[in-house]
Amino acid sequence: MGSDLLIHESTYNNTHEDLAIRNRHSTVGDALDAAKKMNAKFTILTHFSQRYSIFPSEADLDNVDFSFALDFMQVRKGYPLFSVFV
């Protein structure tokens, strides 16, 4: 609860919830919902499939600061939250 940074896998987009359950992975919505429930200050979404357009819906974005993980990405804690560099 209240972590500064949550790193969460989000393999599937929200339209493939059935695949996420079957393959024991998360959707983007699952990951952002977990971030909201645990009051994480910033969330990085990882392990997402390149096969899908996984941009979250506006409902998922309510009070969640996040970024998708990118190759060679650097994250620095700062004010007010985190800075992401590629």
Q: What tens digit of pLDDT does each residue of 21-40 get?
A: 999 999 988 999 999 999 99
Q: What tens digit of pLDDT does each residue of 34-80 get?
A: 999 999 988 999 887 666 665 666 556 666 788 888 888 888 887 66
Distance CA 36, CA 60 (A): 9
Domain boundaries of the chain, sorted by first residue? 5-85
What are the beta bridge partners of residue 68? Answer: 45
**What global pTM score does this model have?**
0.78
